[in-house]
A = this chain, B = another copy of it.
Amino acid sequence: MTAMTDSLTPTDRSAVRRLADRGHYERAVVNGILDEAYVAHVGFVVEGQPRVLPMTYGRDGDSLYLHGAVGNAMLRASADAEVCLTVTLLDGLVLARSAFHHSMNYRSVVVLGVATRVDDAAAKRHAFDVIVDHVLPGRSQVARPSNDSELRKTLVLRLPIEEGSAKVRTGGPIDDEEDMDLPVWAGVIPLRLTPGPVIQDPTQTIPGLPPPVPRDLWTLTVD
């Protein structure tokens, strides 16, 4: 285990190769994307074949936590195995004058590594809090904490943020010089994940409970 540094060191398998100028290794950029997204796509190898599942997660320092039911065969198999955790934020559709130069604005992170089981009860409770607070900051202080039975039913994995990279595209279309005067609208359709009005559980009859305020979305900018 190396000391935490400001940047991840690119490796043969984590360095961004295609359009390498879009690659970022600073922890501030990597963590900003990880903290903003809600869903990670986690890749496992099962009998030599790839599997990708959407999962919730949480980050604490240089640790990512994943969790799931103890009966989840795929999660169980990925303990002490190589995983690839990928997170993508879609920021816009980039419409070029030519079909070829159409693109998307996005911020993505790939973290590679071995996921290890968290079995210590206190560490497991902490991971639970980190995952719940990732969904809604402070929620672990408000919701009824997990009891021993719930803890036993849950498998928690830790993936260190040591080997990985971010990739970011921003800005408008990049068309070829000879296409610039074509009469085709070019530009960007921005997209962002937007919270709607909260819907309270209709079975809840206690008056005056403060509704949740979702955390700020899409606050990081990278130029």
Contacts and interface: CB of A to CB of B under 8 A. Distances in A.
A129 B200 CA distance: 43
Contact of A52 (B52, B172, B189): B52
A65 interface: no
Contacts of A128: 99-100
B190 A196 contact: yes
Contacts of A13: 46, 49, 51
A182 interface: yes
B206 A181 contact: yes
Nearest to A176: B144
B52 A43 contact: yes
A107 to B, nearest CB: 10
**This chain: copies in complex:** 2
Task: State the main secondary structure of chain A at its contact with B.
Answer: mixed
A3 interface: no
A90 to B, nearest CB: 6
B144 A97 contact: yes
A9 interface: no
Given A13-B51, A43-B50, A56-B104, 13 more contacts: A45-B50, A52-B86, A54-B86, A54-B88, A95-B135, A97-B144, A99-B145, A136-B189, A185-B200, A187-B200, A188-B198, A190-B198, A191-B214
17 contacts: A18-B71, A39-B88, A39-B90, A43-B51, A43-B84, A52-B52, A53-B86, A54-B86, A98-B144, A98-B150, A99-B128, A102-B143, A172-B202, A185-B209, A191-B193, A192-B194, A193-B193
